[in-house]
Structure 1
Amino acid sequence: MFDGDGRFTGSETVELGAPGPWTTPSGPLTSRVAFAAAHVVPQVGAENVPGAPAVVDWDSTLAYRHRIWEHGLGVADAMDTAQRGMGLDWAATQELVRRSAAEAASVGARVACGAGTDQLAPDVVAGLEPGDAGLATVTDAYREQVHLVQDAGAQVIVMASRALAKVARGPEDYARVYDAVLAEADRPVILHWLGTMFDPALAGYWGSDSVDSATATFLDLVRAHQSRIDGVKVSLLDAAHEVSLRRSLAALPTSLVEPVETGASTSSTGDARVRLYTGDDFNYPELIAGDEQGHSDALLGIFAAIYPAASTALQAFDAGDAERGHKILASTEALGRHIFAAPTYYYKTGIAFLSWLGGFQPGFSLVGGLHSGRSLRHLVELARLADGCGMLLDPPLAAARLRAFLTTNGVPA
């Protein structure tokens, strides 16, 4: 137990509960398209310290993706959950994309991978100036990554670019770069709008600090390239804004939109529309459940932590039991809000902690030393919330690891 200042005040014995009644689907999920944005597992004993090249435990990293696929979800890889720009360097990113795409193809699963501009060295980005030369550098970097993802056989997620945020002079520069990048797409892509709570360097993205103005620019881009866009992932943690944007997308004509075919998954609901993939790790239960005017699909970092529950909920939606589907997702909401609490960009620490408690990685660590991003108190509360919603899948192992973790961090037995 801890007081308001985080001081340890005494121990408490808690008996962990059983895992939830999670099930794996017997066939493809049909009523929602859902991706879990997965993290990477570092090699034990490697120099995965801040600033060092990432050394990845590929066996554990890819085995985690197979568990997600076994539950009927797609994997969104090489994104911010995989520590793009926060420990995963360009060499490791390229290998991750190729390995993950190959593993997905081997089991007929769906994978989409992030394409950004983070191969540009920090000193290069620091030297970029607004104007034609800077925009050309950003565009060429995007093109390189788009081709990497496409050549690997994965669907492209066009990620937000810190370099573009630095050199763009206004909405017209964003349009110019994205026009060029989308021209490279050989199949419909997912556009990613990542908010500053996930990456403060993206302030003013789409050419404005006003969400309304940025949304207008974003929608203009979607309208201009509708046939090349499968969907948009919005990570602003604003449910009302997402619903409004979702309705604007639903009003677009569907004749221009092509179904996506990647691996075993087409856009499995069979309709042709620009999807809204919620990236709202706070409000996902209500957004995925939807209302009488529609629902959000999902591309979520929290799904990497709760994929058994997420899959079971989506199976309920498929069966027409929307009340049960929403109830299952809602049971994990407190856990999601805790993992993604401010500063939100440290949420990867919580994803890795649950992975370690579950026995899915040998040590509690992240590349770049990012596992130090949360306090002991935060992680203890995370374990309590995970137990409360049935997400500790091996309670005896979780108890043993949590006990060892507490002892190591100075909490007396």
Structure 2
Amino acid sequence: MNYDIDKIRSYFPVLKKEVYNKPFIYFDSAASSQKPVQVLMKEEELHNEYYGNIHRGAHYMADKATNDFEGVREKIKTFINATSTKEIVFTKGTTESINLVASSFCERFVAEGDEIIVSEMEHHANIVPWQLAAERKGARIVKLPFNDSGILEIERLIELISDKTKLISVAHVSNVLGTINPVKEIINIAHHSDVPVLVDGAQAAPHVKIDVQDLDADFYVFSAHKMYGPNGVGILFGKEKWLNEMPPYQGGGEMISEVSFEGTTFNDLPYKFEAGTPHITGVIAFGAAIDLINETGLENLTAWEHSLLEYATAKLKEIEGLRIYGEATQKSGVISFNIEGVHSYDLAMLLDKMGVALRSGHLCADTVMAHYNIPGCIRISFGMYNTKAEIDAFWEALNKVRMMF
């Protein structure tokens, strides 16, 4: 594995900070990743040299910004192997991308009595939008369960699908369990019954290779801020056949062709779903993050993070009274756990004082917490910049905290 961790860490100035006079250890990339200098410099360059509103100005600044903005759409198309830039819609995040599909797809294709299958391990952002849409349309949400090891019960899917099923929505990678779900198999099963599938790739896009053509995904969504890019930028991939049939999500500038008081005609894809001025700076800076991932090599990045996952898992299992939630064979760099007799919030607060940033609580996944009958847990999650030395320091800090209780 050719992985220059020192070089990669040099791109992230925040990692040189101290917190409470302790070296800063960032184990919360699943919530949001840190930003490299390439992204920060691209944002500064845009505002210092050529900012302008895109697609509508007839001057140099607008043309330059438009070309760079659309260049990132092309990069994303290549990154996920979409067939056309028409299939790449910019949103403000994974959450908005899911809400867009839940609103527009359900408006067109879901009727009273229909069903939408959603897995039990989903983030709230991939449950609530479907509940709202189902309530509007008189439809019903059907749960695809997972077992105690954190593995979806795929064998149940065939019996759950019926002629009432209009869509299946599932995470590629669980934000709590780290499970890499067999989404290609899920899509294949669904397509045998002509049911489309939305894949929430928020936790997958920074860590595993995505090929939407190989997966045959109907919709695939993810966010820039979990991929070392700015917040406020999301991606919706959708097959043209669906996007053409779906009504616009929002009305306004850019998404129109012609407007009169007698009626409005809509713009071509993907602009039909991009009402108003987008996050121009964020999208263009996201291109620099994609470049960094490509230069590092996604295979190298995946292998590095997997080595961290294996190392940290083995270390954590040495601690008496610690339970890990999610032990699937196929996992991404996420470990969620509790220590018997220690509240997750107390643990997180004390670890923070030792310089370790991690996540605690229900992790925006109440249904997962309910499955294990716990109020919350601790989560550590890795990015391209983490090291085994950081895991060692975390392990020592964790043992010190455990001895306090």
TM range, normalised to the smaller chain? 0.3 to 0.5
Structure 1 or 2, whichever has the larger Rg, is 2
In the superposition, the TM-score normalised over structure 1's length comes to 0.32
In the superposition, the TM-score normalised over structure 2's length comes to 0.32
Greater strand content:
2
Greater helix content:
1
